[in-house]
Structure 1
Amino acid sequence: MYLVTVVGNLLLLLIRLDSRLHTPMYFFLTVLSFVDLCYANSIVPQMLAHLLSAQKSIPFHSCVLQLYASLALGGSEFFLLGAMAYDRYVAVCHPLHYTVIMHGGLCLGLAAGCLVAGLINSLMETIITFRLPLCHNIINHFACETLAVLQLACVDISLNMVMVAISGFLVIMLPCSLVLFSYGHIVVAILRIRSTQGRSKAFGTCASHLTVVSTCFGATIFTYLGPRSASSMKEEKMIALFYAVVAPMLNPVIYSLRNRDVMAALWKVLEKFRVKE
C-alpha cells in the first residue's frame, strides 16, 4: 500500500509536464499529491521499521518532528481541499469568468496560504504538547500523534484538550464550511441546467473532489471532534491508520479513474519516457 501511495502520487505530479493540464484544478491536484506524498512519508516508513524490529523506539527529537510534520501536512491538506472546492465553485457557477478569477497569482497565493496556515497551526500545537512534563515514554500508538502523546503527561491536560478542540475547529470545520458553501451553490447551479448532458458534465468536474473530501473530512471529524469513550484510543488508531495509509493511496486512484484528462496525460508522459529510453 505504501508503494502504491508513492508511485500513484508521483505519477500525478508528472501531469504538470503536460501543458494541456496547466489549469487551476490540476495545479491544486498536484499540490495535493505532493502534500499526500510528504504526509505518508512522515509516518509510514517509521511504522514499517517498527513492524520489522523487536525494539520499537523513536528518539525524542524524531517524535517531535514527526508530530509537527504530520500536523502541518494534515492541516495543509484540509485547507487545500477547501481551496479546491472554491475552484470548483467558480468553474461551475461562473464559467465565463473562470480564467479571470482563478488566475495564476491567486492559485499560488491560495496554495501558499494553505501550506503556511498548516505550518503555523502545527507549530503552536506541537509547542503546547511538548511543553508538558512527560512521566512515561511508551506511546499507545503507531506514531507520535497529539492525543497519544498527551496521555504521557504527568499533569492535567484539560487545557490541552480544549486547545486540540479549538485547533480542530479551525483546521477542520472552517475548510469544511467552505466546502459546504461551495457545493451548496454548485448543486443549485447544476439543478438550473436543463440538459441532462450538461448536468452530468458539471457534476463530473466535482465528483472526484467530493469523494476525496468525504473520506478525509469524515475520518478526521470522527477522530478529533467526536464523543470520547473508553475505547476511543483504539478507534483513533484505526482512523489514524486509515488517514496515514489508505487516504493518500486512494486520492490519486480516485482522481485518475474518474478523470480521462488525467489518464491521457499520464499515458502521454509515460510514452515520452519510453521514447527517451
Structure 2
Amino acid sequence: MTDVPSFDSIKLEIADTVAIITLNRPDRLNSMPPAMADDIRAALDHLPSLGARALLITGEGRGFCSGADLADDRSGGGAVGGGARSRNALRGHYNPMLLALANLDIPVVVAINGPAAGVGCSFALSGDFTIAGKSAYFLQAFVNIGLVPDGGSSWLLPRLVGVPRALQMMMLGEKITGDQAADWGMIYKCVEDADLLAEAKALATRLANGPTIALGTMRKILRDGLTQDFATTLDAEARGQFIAGGTADAAEGILAFQQKRKTEFKGK
C-alpha cells in the first residue's frame, strides 16, 4: 500500500479498506472550483494502490457542496463567467472527474450534510448509495442564474425520478429536501443529522467487506444497461458471471454456504 496523498481542497483518508473523501472548503460550503474537481479526480486515481474496496464521500462543516465556485479563478478560468469558460471548465475539470467516479471498480456511498446545489447536486447523486441528513437539500440551481444543468444531471435525474420531476427540479429551481428525495426514490435514505456519518460509514464498511470484483462488475453492468438493449445486457451479465465466478471470493462464498458459516471475502 502506498502513502495516502494530501490535497489542497479535499481530505483523503483510509479506514481499513474504506476510502473517505471529504470536501474541505467549509468556509465556502464546500463550493467546488475546478481545482477541487482536479483534486477529487487525483484522489480517485490513487484508490487502487491504497487498497480501497469502497469509497465514502462527504463534506466538511455545514454543507456537502454548494455548487461551482463562481469566484475562484485560480485554475486559469473559473467555472462560471462566460459560455466558453464554463464549457472549458466542464470539459477540462468537472466532466473528467465525474467520468472517473462513474468508472470506479468499487462501490460509492455519498453522505449529504446540508446543501447539495448545482454541480454539487449532480456530484451527490453520482454514487451508488446516497444518504442524506434531515437538514440536507438538493437544488438544481442553474435556472436561477440563467444557465443549464451540468455535471451529468440531465442524464441522472430522469433515470432516478422520471422526466416530470427532473423538469420540476431543473426548470423551477426548487429545493428538494432529504425526506422528499428519499420519498421520490432519488436517494437511498434520509436519516437524522446526528446519525448521518455513522450510517454512511457502516454501509461503506459493509460494502468494503463484500465481494469487491462482483460489486464492481454489478456497478458497470447496471450503469451500461441504462443505455443498451436487453440482449446486450444479457451478454454483459454472462461475461460478468464468468469474471466473478473465477474469483477467490466466489469460491469462498460457495464454501461458506456449504459449511453454513459467515463469508470472509477478501476482494480477490
One fold, TM greater than 0.5?
no
State the structure with more CA Rg: 1
Higher relative contact order (CA 8 A, sep 6+): 1
TM range (shorter): under 0.3
Q: Which has the higher strand share?
A: 2
